[in-house]
Structure 1
Amino acid sequence: MDQSTLPLQIDSYLDRLKQRFNESPDLIQKVFHIKGQEVVIHFISYQIKKDRLERELLEPLTKSEKPWSVHDLQNKIPLASSQTVSSIEKIAELIIHGNVVVYFPGEKEAVAFLLPQQQVRALERAETESLVFGPQIAFTESLVTNLNIIRWRLDVDDLVVEKLIVGERIKSEIRIVYLKSIANDENVDTMRQRIKDLKVAEVEDTSVLGQLIEDSSSSIFPQLINTELPDRFCNSISKGRVGVLVDKSPTALIGPMTLFSFFESTEDLYMRWNMGTFIRLLRFIAMAFSIILTPMYVAALTYHYEIIPTSLLVSLGQSRAMVPFPPVLEALLLEMLIELLREAGARLPTKVGQTMGIVGGIVLGQAAVKAGFTSNILIIIIALSALASFTAPSYLMGTAIRIIRFPMIILAGAWGLIGIMFALSFIVIHLLKQKSLGRPYLAPIYPFQWKDINDSLIRLPFQKNNARPLNVMPKDTERHDPNKAAEKKDVDPS
């Protein structure tokens, strides 16, 4: 017989469980004698609710007038979340997850009752995806809390929540969330299969899971969205996308996505459609601005003076008269300075970080100009490029844009406008090859889908926005009848 399989005598049972926990003092083992029957109860003290243990388990257990059996324990104890186990390994796993295990020595099975004492952070405002309009709550590290929020927002019986366990050494509970009547089965199967196929020691967070299952791990562009906003998560699910939650992670994963999805915000929906369209287009312009502005400065001053207006050329010459570095080195130094200030501000405490960013930028900028390390005009250009990159609602996409600037500046310094065009062509070709859960990453531009323009570049009024994005291949493409949605039935005064 396997030495880790029940039944076991009490001494052997207690010894093997202690060995399993490496003689940890946190493991509490109590042996009770009830009506001549030995009962072993064990748990980790700080992982269970002791008041419920005493009131709902120990009290009815000790007051019984006859011996207990496994069947009686499951049917007469008023606790819904119970299960039977038959091995030391499974018992140890359940204890770690907040279960109280009751064992009658000599029985083939023990009974585990879930009484977890979880330290859950209260619902708070989102930090990295802050909104002016719309719901302000964010996900927490508790999977139960996050599922509760989602069920509250999507209170339909069509919502499917699948449970998976991933991790060879440290196991993590993962939930796949989608609407059965809308989500494409291929998208769901792809997400499920990629998670099931993972052979890793542990999955620390949804961001780690996203890197493990995305289509191209070598690309700098994220292919799945990480969000801490329940409203964005639920909005994406209602469009036919597939969501993933990981226990102990305060963010959720959404796919398949497109490049343009990373520049959308749920705030666009809460504004009037013309305001939302303007802000969305502003983000795309800012992205292009951030990528090419500094490289264009380097290329123009290095090779293409003729494209600079004469009046501006004089100002540039005067500004750079004392600068000893070539434009490419000057731009790289300032870009690196901006990144250092940004990283320092992010790592320092909030109030200190804000002060450091403002004061550091002003002081270092002024000192660099007076010392002749750079020109006033380049400081303005670098600051505008940095501000433009911060308009991306996705932190990962904003970081990718800032990183892209560095090789583009080097190519601009080496070959001028030809180097910039080479870099842009390489980026476009790279994006054309990318996929998200097997779906085109540049949709609806390539392949072109006119109906999806509303869900990417612009936002139409809700009455006319009746189609779900076709690039995710939803089962039900229509949200509502646009003709009925646009009807206005006023009260007849007569």
Structure 2
Amino acid sequence: MRGSGSNDKNIFPMKIEELEKLLKNRFENNPDLSFTVYDHENKKIAVFFISYIVETQWVHESLVKTLLEGNEPWTNKAILNNIPLAEAEKKKKLQELLDGLLIGKVFVYIEGEDAALSYLLLKKEKRSLVQAETESLVLGPKVGFTESLITNLNMIRWNIRSENLVMEKYTVGKQEPREVRLVYIKSVANTSDINTMRQRLTELDIDNVDDSSVLMQYLEDSSRSIFPQFLSTELPDRFCYSISRGRIGVLVENSPTSIIAPSTFFSFFESTEDLYMRWNVGSFLRILRYLSFLLSTLLTPIYVSVVTFHYEIIPTSLLVNLGQSRAAVPFPPILEVLILELLIELLRESGARLPTKVGQTIGIVGGVVIGTAAVEAGITSNVLLIVVALSALASFTAPNYLMGTTARLIRFPMIFLAGTLGIVGIVYGMSFLVVHLLKLTSLGRPYLAPIYPFRWEDLNKVIFRLPNDFQNKRFISYRPKKAIRYSKKDARKKRDIDE
């Protein structure tokens, strides 16, 4: 509906009949365009809006009823002074009317006036607060974000009650504008990071944004990398935890997922649940996730390389059992692994797309039945079935779905390298990944911080956890304005009264 030069000209004053004809032609006589004309004190008043995105009850009770009950002829000035509705604006251009109608504005035009008045009476469709679907916790708050931006902003305000909390408003999308909020704590967040994100949001020239996940791909430093550079989460507590530590967040209208930046490779293995547990238990679980990522990426490639090229590595007793289990398998190890890996991926994807109850049945029964049948049919060996199952389980330990998917995808080129070059191929593949990770950045910050560049004081925040009295500093690698959160001395246990 853009592009016409006449859309940017002042069209008022004009006859109400001409305005009605003009709008209905632009909307192709859409029956949802409500255009009603009222006669009051020898003046014609037109009220027009799109019915299904406007609270029609508010329109009639707060606007139309007041207009018709007045005893004097209405003017724009009189309406603005006597009808106490928020966000009232004067609109003079056709394009302003078209854009306003599409986002839920109600317009009032008095014939002969030089502008139409607009009121935002948008109908807010939202679901109730429920538990997050993609991130599950045993301890801590379970509630997740919803598609309502207002609801999400309210939850953030309840969690961070600070006058330094800033929520900047932006509009992204030319064809289908969508509201985007940039959230940060002014006294903590790095100014350079804020300005960088502002620039990327304001310079983004696209037609529409379907979801925050799509926006994240536009905003990332390297959209071609397999690794996500920004963290996405459905959990308000994780969002607020990150904001309070000096990072910045992005919320998108009609999306239940938020964006957190900058992020490091290690951010995708952290969970707020680590904070709610004892420090030693939290450290153990975090280290377990890192080991699981390596296991998921390298276990099946190592099996392929050892069985194909390096039999001498396998103990003799295990080698005999392995030879017996593979005696009836007609395929080389690399093809055998690829068949079983693709089978696991099919089961996983079908289970995720089906309804919950049916999906669980498919995952469990399908895995047991098809796995057992594949072994009995001689398509694969017992040992490989165990290896692939362990690799699949390890990929589920990452708290972030995007990083778990990345581990699954990396596994396939590593299998090809292992099947063609053996252990040397795995070393080549891992070297390429390390170099790639060293080159990656997130909002201009090193992706492998605090390993590269190395910062000892940040290791206890990403690799492991120390007791709370050692957590008095924020993540220095993000260069927050305030590095100290609280006094380390004051956080320690004081002497009891009876001591």
Please report the TM-score for the alignment, with normalisation by the length of structure 2: 0.97
What are the ranges of 5 or more consecutive residues in structure 1 without an aligned counterpart?
Answer: none
Find the counterpart in structure 1 of residue 477 from structure 2. 471
**Matching residue's letter, 2:217:** Q
Contact 1:4 1:16 (8 Å CA) reproduced: no
CA offset at residue 480 of structure 1?
A: 0.3
**Matching residue's letter, 1:178:** Y
Find the counterpart in structure 1 of residue 317 from structure 2. 311
1:394, 1:487 → 2: CA distance?
35
Find the counterpart in structure 1 of residue 158 from structure 2. 152
Contact 2:180 2:252 (8 Å CA) reproduced: yes
Find the counterpart in structure 1 of residue 223 from structure 2. 217
Match runs of 1:414-425 below 5 Å: 414-425=420-431
Find the counterpart in structure 1 of residue 417 from structure 2. 411
Find the counterpart in structure 1 of residue 15 from structure 2. 9
Q: 2:25 aligns with which of 19, 34, 41?
A: 19
Find the counterpart in structure 2 of residue 275 from structure 1. 281
Find the counterpart in structure 1 of residue 135 from structure 2. 129
2:150, 2:337 → 1: CA distance?
49
1:304, 1:118 → 2: CA distance?
63
1:81 matched to 2:69? The reply is: no
2:9, 2:446 → 1: CA distance?
53
CA offset at residue 80 of structure 1?
A: 2.1
1:152, 1:84 → 2: CA distance?
34
1:252 matched to 2:254? The reply is: no
Contact 2:174 2:208 (8 Å CA) reproduced: yes
Find the counterpart in structure 1 of residue 3 from structure 2. none
Please report the TM-score for the alignment, with normalisation by the length of structure 1: 0.98
Match runs of 1:352-391 below 5 Å: 352-391=358-397
Q: 1:436 aligns with which of 431, 439, 442?
A: 442
CA offset at residue 46 of structure 1?
A: 2.0
CA offset at residue 312 of structure 1?
A: 0.6
Find the counterpart in structure 1 of residue 249 from structure 2. 243
CA offset at residue 51 of structure 1?
A: 2.3
1:322 matched to 2:328? The reply is: yes
Give the match's secondary structure for 1:463.
helix
Find the counterpart in structure 2 of residue 92 from structure 1. 98
Match runs of 1:30-49 below 5 Å: 30-49=36-55
CA offset at residue 99 of structure 1?
A: 1.7
User: Could you list the per-position Cα deviations for residues 423-472 of structure 1 after superposition, in whole angstroms to 9, with x for gaps in the alignment?
Assistant: 00000000000000110000000000111112211112222101111121
Contact 1:4 1:88 (8 Å CA) reproduced: yes
Stretches (4+) displaced over 3 A: 1-4
Give the match's secondary structure for 2:46.
strand
2:124, 2:31 → 1: CA distance?
20
Give the match's secondary structure for 1:164.
strand
CA offset at residue 4 of structure 1?
A: 5.6
Q: 1:55 aligns with which of 41, 49, 61?
A: 61
**Matching residue's letter, 1:407:** P
Percent of matched pairs sharing the same residue: 54
**Matching residue's letter, 2:68:** T
Contact 2:9 2:93 (8 Å CA) reproduced: no
**Matching residue's letter, 2:96:** K
1:229, 1:14 → 2: CA distance?
46
CA offset at residue 3 of structure 1?
A: 5.9
Q: How many matched pairs?
A: 493
Give the match's secondary structure for 1:323.
coil
**Matching residue's letter, 2:281:** M
1:261 matched to 2:282? The reply is: no
2:183, 2:240 → 1: CA distance?
10
1:397, 1:35 → 2: CA distance?
66
1:194, 1:472 → 2: CA distance?
19
Find the counterpart in structure 2 of residue 198 from structure 1. 204
Give the match's secondary structure for 1:113.
strand
1:489, 1:120 → 2: CA distance?
51
**Matching residue's letter, 2:82:** K
CA offset at residue 490 of structure 1?
A: 2.3
**Matching residue's letter, 1:150:** I
Contact 1:150 1:234 (8 Å CA) reproduced: yes
Range with greater deviation from structure 2 (53-62 or 137-146): 53-62
Give the match's secondary structure for 1:444.
coil
1:20, 1:133 → 2: CA distance?
54
CA offset at residue 489 of structure 1?
A: 4.3
CA RMSD of aligned residues (A): 1.3
User: Could you list the per-position Cα deviations for residues 85-118 of structure 1 after superposition, in whole angstroms to 9, with x for gaps in the alignment?
Assistant: 1112112222222221111122122111121222
Contact 1:4 1:89 (8 Å CA) reproduced: no
